[in-house]
Amino acid sequence: MRILLVEDDSTLAEGIARALRAENFAVDVADNGEDGGHLGSTELYDAAVLDLGLPKRDGVSVLRAWRAEGRSLPVLILTARDGWSEKVAGFKAGADDYLTKPFRIEEIVMRLRALVRRAAGHAAAQVTCGPLTFDAQLGTFELDGLPLKLTAFEWRVLSALMLRKEAVIARAELIERVYEGDADVDSNSIEVIIGRLRKKIGPAMIETVRGRGYRLTAGVA
């Protein structure tokens, strides 16, 4: 999962980004509304955390522009503005959730997981595919009831496949959802990660659809 964080307080942004990366998220950070708006308009993200009081361009304006462009990424507004009128303006602009400062960073993680899960069409926290279970609220995987240990990159690929199980996801889309914007990506990186995942969950569960991408399926070996 890849998150866009638009926050001009560098200390706060670093703390949030560090916490999200510790939970296996890829994070791109923008410190002003102009850059954040551009990233949200041109890159693929699973969700965005958006401050309202931003330099160059305010958060409500950024969000309105995304929605006018048809961008449907879930957006969590994060702001010190706790007045009712500010909340109404945020939700009218297209926000999916609203969190006022001060807050616990753990709450941001939980709210983002819920937003991403619901955006993928899953009402329940647990998503299953054959012997594989993903608790999308806790961010944990189990295989045949036992905890599955994954690297951050493996987790990002498998969570993307799991939330859209039985659907084909293009290789290019997986790259966008797995790597941060400034990452140096090897040409065969996704294939390497898919290979490692097949060793961990069974080769039959991840199908290569030639010319299209990969699909997670409840197949049998």
Q: What is the pLDDT of residues 149-160, one digit of tens each?
A: 999 999 999 999
Domain span including residue 163:
126-216
The verdict on residue 221 lying in a domain is no
Q: Is 221 a residue whose pLDDT tops 50?
A: no
More confidently predicted of 146 and 181:
146
- Considering the domain architecture, whether residues 52 and 145 belong to the same structural domain is answered as no
Among 35-44, 50-59, 109-118, 180-189, name the one with the lowest average pLDDT: 180-189
- Considering the domain architecture, whether residues 203 and 138 belong to the same structural domain is answered as yes
- Considering the domain architecture, whether residues 88 and 153 belong to the same structural domain is answered as no
DSSP state letter for 127? E
Q: What is the CATH number of the domain that holds 205?
A: 1.10.10.10
Token output for 124: 């329940």
Residue of 198, 197, 207, 118 whose CA lies nearest to 163: 118
Of all residues in the chain, what percent carry a pLDDT higher than 90? 75
Q: Is 184 a residue whose pLDDT tops 80?
A: no
Angle, helices 189-201/152-163, rounded to nearest 10 degrees: 80
Angle, helices 189-201/171-178, rounded to nearest 10 degrees: 90
* pLDDT at 78 (0 to 100): 87
Mean pLDDT of 182-189: 74
Cα of first residue to Cα of last residue in the chain, in angstroms, is 28
* pLDDT at 84 (0 to 100): 76
* pLDDT at 53 (0 to 100): 87
Please, where are the H alpha helices in the chain? 10-22, 33-42, 59-68, 84-93, 105-119, 152-163, 171-178, 189-201
- Considering the domain architecture, whether residues 106 and 157 belong to the same structural domain is answered as no
The verdict on residue 27 lying in a domain is yes
- Considering the domain architecture, whether residues 104 and 139 belong to the same structural domain is answered as no
- Considering the domain architecture, whether residues 12 and 114 belong to the same structural domain is answered as yes
- Considering the domain architecture, whether residues 130 and 100 belong to the same structural domain is answered as no
Q: What is the CATH number of the domain that holds 95?
A: 3.40.50.2300
Q: Do the Cβ atoms of 27 and 180 come closer than 8 Å?
A: yes
Q: Is 39 a residue whose pLDDT tops 90?
A: yes
Q: Could you read off the pLDDT of 76-121 as tens digits, one per residue?
A: 998 876 677 778 888 889 999 999 888 888 999 999 999 999 999 8
* pLDDT at 219 (0 to 100): 65
* Last residue in a domain, options 97, 119, 141: 119
- Distances 108 to 48, 163, 191 between C-alpha atoms, Å: 11, 20, 31
Q: Is 4 a residue whose pLDDT tops 90?
A: yes
Token output for 5: 């964080």
The verdict on residue 88 lying in a domain is yes
Residue of 73, 20, 81, 93 whose CA lies nearest to 53: 81
Mean pLDDT of 25-51: 95
* pLDDT at 100 (0 to 100): 86
Write the single-letter amino acid at 66: W
The total of structural domains in the chain comes to 2
Q: Is 11 a residue whose pLDDT tops 60?
A: yes
- Considering the domain architecture, whether residues 207 and 187 belong to the same structural domain is answered as yes
- Considering the domain architecture, whether residues 43 and 141 belong to the same structural domain is answered as no
- Considering the domain architecture, whether residues 105 and 7 belong to the same structural domain is answered as yes
